Structure 1
Amino acid sequence: MVSKRLASIEESATMRISSEAKRLNSEGFDIIDLGVGEPDFDTPRHICDAACRYMLEGKTRYTPTNGIPELRRAIAKKLREENRIPAVPEDVIVTPGAKMAVFAAIQALLDEGDEMVLIGPSWVSYEPCIKFAGGRPVWADVDQDFMPMDLPEAITERTKAILVNSPCNPTGAVFGHEVMKEIRDIAIDHDIYVVSDEVYEKIIYGHEHISIASLPDMADRTITINGFSKSYAMTGWRLGYLTGPRDMLKWISRLLSHSVSHPTTFVQWAGIAALEGPQDDVRRMTEEFRARRDILVDGLRSLGIRCALPGGAFYMFPDVSHLGGGDVFAERLLKEAKIAVTPGSAFGPGGEDYIRISYATSRERIKEALERMESMLNS
């Protein structure tokens, strides 16, 4: 009896793998979970303290759909100073997580039959969001370093938008000025929108993060999405935000008003503490992720597994085509080595030869996982 639209949406592969890893752990198996997309750090103490304080102060009632004015001001200031996006508080909508921002933006943009270009392998939830809106995902090819190639060939008369995710989940790729300029030129030439998911912007190694909305003539055709989950280890807090053209924001706000209403009130106040408080924990987490990345890259390459060096996020997308492909190798890792990873096929066409490995776990567990892989491959 379920609607055809909902029945067409597949279960999230990353959530399924994580649930399976937790189930096996509960049964007594020592599963090393390299599938989860969640920082393994605690939320910084000053953010937790702020949430407790504001809760006790009575910040527990309804707020405006678009978020409390104080947080919208803090986000707009951050967007202007860090991202060079000319945002004012009225241009900001606060959401219950960046995922809801992605969903709402895509629903507001697409009509039945509209196309949205995914560069990629891309995050597992983009395609279902497009399909739920009645749209059609079109996949643009990438090279061996996961940079877009022949992107204009993906554009048709039905194209409504391009989705940009840099740093990228699942590949860790970071798009530089040349790539962003190409996307900008395509968007302007074809009069289409860009949806830019920048939730991993602070987890970046030796690269500059570029917000495409900061490029000339792009602020009025870009919906920029971000959140607190990854940078501040606030996954369970569910706090995200977006900014973009006002004629689009009013419809996104209407959708949110009839669905989620607004994010948790005291969590919004804690978001101000995250943005305006000390950033030492963000830098410390990023440096730790970088150290883990280097251990994992060196270890995989020593096992004969090719992988591009991720420029950001905390994922790696190694090529396991010579080991049976992503689905086969992921299943083998779970059964024989008790390691959970995500098959690359979950991230769209072109991912079948890969697996996604998350290094959001300790150096010790990463080293142990490499040892288990070596034993399995040598057995």
Structure 2
Amino acid sequence: MIRRAGATPREVALTPPEWRIDADALETAVTDRTKAVIFNNPHNPTGRLFAGDELQIVADFANRHDFTVISDEVWEHILLHGDRFTPLAMLPGMADRTLKAGSAGKIFSLTGWKVGWIVASPAKAAITARAHQFLTFSTAPSLQSAVAYGLTEGDAWIEPMRGRFSRALNRMSEGLRQAGYVVLEPASTYFLCVDLEASGIEVDDETFANAAVERAGVATIPVSAFAEDNPSRHLVRLCFAKRDETIDAGVQAMARARELFA
């Protein structure tokens, strides 16, 4: 979509396993045509919840260059270890330059509904609304009503949901470790990453993913698919938002996949 609008995206790589934001890397990406920053926290596919000092790096960067920040915060309530989420707009100077994206699909685990929102200053919200009318003309009113109810009355539902996801994550992580995999523990999202190289598997992520689904019966996502510029090629992503029996079957299939490269 960025390219179709006539702009050029410039990626700022995050390096595993820490996936930390680097101020110098941000500055290197700036050109005289840069107008905005797209930021994702909690981060997919890594599962990172960026620390306060990293948020400050982004805020300082945006304030220094007078950039708008499109902050994708759709995973803000899927916190797996009792962490606290800080919206980027809360940092000094960021309220008027941030477009915060939220998603009922993520908050309430209703990903097929595709109901979301933008939180922004009146001026930036008006610009967003004008663009949005050419992307999604309307959203089903019944879904909007249900989401409004959830946002008003849903607090009692969110904490048990976090507990269910945390237990599912622990079940999958422990099973994968017992199968000989090195797992990068996520702080958020429905996903965890497996480090193939650290697990002693000497093939790239795409080769592993193809073999795993075709010969072991488990679907993984090569993390290299999420980047264009020198992507990491030794990580695959798995979804743990599943029933216990599905997680156990998936772990067994991952054990079979590991044997393919023993």
Q: What is the TM-score with the length of structure 2 in the denominator?
A: 0.88
Structure 2: which amino acid aligns with 1:218? Answer: M
SS at match of 2:238: strand
Deviation at 1:201, TM superposition (A): 0.6
* Partner residue, 1:354: 235
* Partner residue, 2:211: 332
Whole-Å separation in 1 of the counterparts to 2:135 and 2:171: 43
SS at match of 2:100: strand
Q: Is 1:308 the counterpart of 2:160 in the alignment? A: no
For 2:223, which of 344, 347, 350 is the aligned residue? 344
Q: Which has the higher contact order (CA 8 A, sep 6+)?
A: 1
* Partner residue, 1:145: 18
CA distance 1:173–1:259, shift in 2 (3 Å): closer
Residue segments in structure 2 that go unaligned for 5+ positions in a row: none
Whole-Å separation in 2 of the counterparts to 1:300 and 1:155: 40
Q: Deviations over 1:196-231 (max 9, x none)?
A: 111111001222111000111101111000010011
Whole-Å separation in 1 of the counterparts to 2:13 and 2:114: 32
Q: List aligned pairs for 1:229-248, cutoff 5 A.
A: 229-248=105-124
Q: Is the 8 A contact 1:323 1:329 kept in 2?
A: no
Deviation at 1:259, TM superposition (A): 4.4
CA distance 1:370–1:266, shift in 2 (3 Å): closer
Q: What is the TM-score with the length of structure 1 in the denominator?
A: 0.62
Whole-Å separation in 1 of the counterparts to 2:61 and 2:236: 31
When the two chains are superposed, the root-mean-square deviation of aligned CA atoms in Å is 1.8
Q: Deviations over 1:143-179 (max 9, x none)?
A: 3221222332222222222222111111111012110
Structure 1: which amino acid aligns with 2:26? Answer: L
Q: Is the 8 A contact 1:176 1:210 kept in 2?
A: no
How many residues align? The count is 251
Q: Is 1:297 the counterpart of 2:156 in the alignment? A: no
For 2:87, which of 211, 216, 225 is the aligned residue? 211
SS at match of 2:19: coil
Q: Deviations over 1:24-62 (max 9, x none)?
A: xxxxxxxxxxxxxxxxxxxxxxxxxxxxxxxxxxxxxxx
SS at match of 1:163: strand
Residue segments in structure 1 that go unaligned for 5+ positions in a row: 1-128
Q: Is 1:275 the counterpart of 2:156 in the alignment? A: no
Whole-Å separation in 1 of the counterparts to 2:180 and 2:14: 22
Instruction: Give the fraction of aligned pairs with identical amino acids, expressed as a percent.
Output: 27
SS at match of 1:307: strand
Q: Is the 8 A contact 2:185 2:193 kept in 1?
A: no
SS at match of 1:293: helix
Q: Deviations over 1:213-269 (max 9, x none)?
A: 011110111100001001112222221100223333222222233443332222222
SS at match of 1:137: coil
Whole-Å separation in 2 of the counterparts to 1:376 and 1:268: 42
Q: List aligned pairs for 1:169-188, cutoff 5 A.
A: 169-188=44-63
Structure 2: which amino acid aligns with 1:377? Answer: R
Kindly indicate which of the two structures has a greater share of residues assigned to helix: 1
